[in-house]
Amino acid sequence: MELKRISDCVWEIPKTGAMRVPGRIYADKRLLDLAKGDKALDQVVNVATLPGIVKWSLAMPDIHWGYGFPIGGVAAFSLDEGVISPGGVGYDINCGVRVCKTGLTFKELEGKHKKLVNALFNAVPTGVGGDSAIGRLSKADGTGIVTTGAKWAVEHGFGKPSDLDYTEDGGTMAGADPAAASDTAFKRGLGQVGTLGSGNHFLELDRVDETYTPEALSVFGLSVGDVVLLIHCGSRGFGYQICDENVHDFVKIAGRYHIDLADRQLACAPASSWEGKKYLSAMACAANYAWVNRQVIMILAGRALSDCLGKSVEPELIYDVCHNIAKIEDHEVDGKMMKVIVHRKGATRAFPAGHPLTPAKYKDVGQPVLVPGDMGRCSFLLTGLPGAMKETFGSTCHGAGRTASRGEMNRRMQGVDLDAELRSMGVTVRGKTRASLAEEMPSAYKDADVVTEVMERAGISKRIAKFVPFAVIKG
């Protein structure tokens, strides 16, 4: 595969064969070599063959192989001639991250890490399946959840109205239609609200370890040494079912719309078709479900911390972003503003200072971007830069990005004392199973420090602060 160097950390795959646009990869030489190790770059090429794609098929520096689209992939499609692809959103629709102030300092929690971990683990259900700590909800509740999103949670005692101001899209994605989601999706989802799930999802306490821009950090009300709560999860079985059903349906209709697929996993439908519109409505339902899920977990975690410490701890939301979503947005294409459907799969929205969708409190610094790393090293708070609007449809990386599969990590970690290894990094952890920890050990991931540095060098997003974990629960 030919790769042309565009700048210090931008590489281009020239348009050849069935490609409708070039591919672009954000990476330094080290990260590019890692990307070449799996089929992720082939997936960048495959995405570039889809109808209606504009400008580029993009890959962020955390790129790795995914379902159809690479994880870390971004692509925008014309509303009139383009497609919507469930594989370009992902199975865990609106998987995302929220970060909250706790009002605690790292110093005052010394000697209490294990107690805190156990309290959080007992309060927030984890693992595959997982029964909600708030019980199985009714279908009427489900309808409210998937249509109004985080607002439903606030109205039912989980948080306060101001939380909505600091949630992407106000915690409610427009266009959700419960009729677009199957009974099976509701059956899977109604008992999982307020649960963490498995895989790379986590709930953790981090200390603010370092700041790159003290003035910007003060806007977020944080200082070095403060403790923040990070929550990383999505739409659970509800979103998975919606993706799975639509992928299978879209494979069957590709011929009807004369769509030649380079890979069956790229199954898609014209955005203007009734099938495409139905998926968008169902996807919006799952996005709203995920915002409710993270909102409920935040409150459950706050209650657990309060009980554990014997004083009131009310997490204050700094921001909540999603990184598995497709959105209709206005972007400049070939010198003209155009409505496009931006697919962000393992990529985060990163709007700059002054953008109308950035919360008023952050208008001078830019939209917050939350990039979780692995449970042993660090995560980051960033903000969007103007370069994101020019080059990446207002998008940046979403995490560190895997370098080893879960199966490989289970083999690699045989005989290793996982708890001891993490303790050596200053981390107290509790997981549902040993396998769930082995799969997510730090060596499974790229270094988030390097990934976020690349995006800053490229002028896409700016690092504000580094968070270091010390108390983690996993599914």
Annotated catalytic sites, by residue? 398
> 3-state class of 280 per DSSP?
helix
Phi first, then psi, for residue 157 (nearest 5°) are: 90, 10
Structure tokens at 142: 């489900």
Phi first, then psi, for residue 391 (nearest 5°) are: -115, -30
Question: Judging by DSSP bridges, how do beta strands 461-474 and 428-431 pair with one another?
Answer: parallel
**367 Rama class: left (phi>0) / alpha (psi -120 to 50) / beta:** beta
Q: Around Cβ 204, how many Cβ atoms within 10 Å? A: 24
Task: Write down how long the chain is.
Answer: 475
> 3-state class of 72 per DSSP?
strand
Q: How many CA atoms lie within 13 A of 248 on its CB side?
A: 5
Are 102 and 229 in contact by the 8 Å Cβ rule? The answer is: yes
Residue 101 bridge partners (DSSP): 228, 316
> What DSSP state is assigned to residue 366?
-
Are 411 and 444 in contact by the 8 Å Cβ rule? The answer is: no
